[in-house]
Structure 1
Amino acid sequence: MDRASFNTFCAAMPATSHVVQWGNADVWKVGPKVFAICGWADGRDAFTFKVSEIAYEVLQEQPGVRPAPYLASRGMKWLQHYDAPGLSDIELRRHIEISYDLVAAGLSKKKRRELNIPELRHT
C-alpha cells in the first residue's frame, strides 16, 4: 500500500477526518480520535494502527512490523508496518478497519449516532 492508497482507503470510512501533523504525517480520525497514521520510517511510508492485545503480541513478531514508536512506549496497543515483508495490502487494510472499529467503539453510543457510524464489524 502506498500513501495515496492509504488516504483513499481511510477517507472512505464513515465519519473520518484527516489532518497533517507530526512531521507531515497523514493522521486519520474517527470523530475526535486517531485510528490510523501514515508517516515515514527510514524514508519509506510507515502505517500505524491500533490493535487488540492478542494481535499486538502476535503481529509484532512479524518482520517489518513493530510496536508503534511513541504510542506503544506509553502502553498503548499500536503497531507500525514499516518495512518488507510486513503485512500484505489486504492484511493492512483489514487491520486499519479493525483499528477504526476499536477506536469507534471507544466513543459513546450517542457520539456514534451523531456521527452516523454504522454497527461496528470487529469489536
Structure 2
Amino acid sequence: MLSRDAINAYCKSLPHSTHVVQWGNSDVWKVGGKLFAVCGWSNGESAVTFKVTDLGFEVLSEMPGIRPAPYLASRGMKWVQVYDDPGLPDAELKAHIEASYEMIKAKLTKKLRSELGFD
C-alpha cells in the first residue's frame, strides 16, 4: 500500500482539496468542506478510508486487507478502509480515492461548485 505521505501527497494534488488533522491525528481530506478521504492508523499501520459506490462497497469489503470503514459504514454510509496487505495496488487505490473525491464534488451545491471553479 502507498505510504501515508504518498496518500497525503496524492490527496493534496486534487483541485481545491483541503487538509485538517483531527480524530486522533488522522489526515482528513475534504473538498468544499465535505470529507472524501481519511488517512490514519490501524493497529500502528497506515490505513486509508474513502467513499465508494454501492457495488464498490460490496466487492471491496470482501477483499483481504479492506473492510467497511469503522464508524462511517456503521451509519449506513458506503465507505471502506484499506488497512492491511494485500489491499489494493497503488494505481487502483489512487483511482478509488479520486472516485471518492468526484462523488463528493458532485454532491456540492451548484453555488459552491461554481465558487470553486468546477462549473
Confirm or deny a common fold (TM above 0.5).
yes
> Unaligned 5+ residue runs, structure 1?
119-123
Q: Which residue matches 2:45?
A: 44
- Between the aligned partners of 1:62 and 1:117, the Cα distance in structure 2 is 34
Q: Which residue matches 1:98?
A: 99
Aligned partner letter, 1:79:
V
The answer to whether the 8 A contact 1:15-1:117 is kept is: no
- Secondary structure of the residue that 1:104 maps to in structure 2? helix
Shift of 1:15: 1.0
Q: Which residue matches 1:121?
A: none
Q: Which residue matches 2:36?
A: 35
Which structure 1 residue ranges, 4+ long, deviate > 2 Å from structure 2? none
- Between the aligned partners of 2:11 and 2:93, the Cα distance in structure 1 is 12
> Unaligned 5+ residue runs, structure 2?
none
TM-score norm. by structure 1 comes to 0.93
Q: Which residue matches 1:68?
A: 69
Q: Which residue matches 2:14?
A: 13
Count of residues paired in the alignment: 118
1:51-88: per-residue Cα shift (whole Å, max 9, x none)?
00000001111000000000000000000000000111
1:13-35: per-residue Cα shift (whole Å, max 9, x none)?
11110000000000000011000
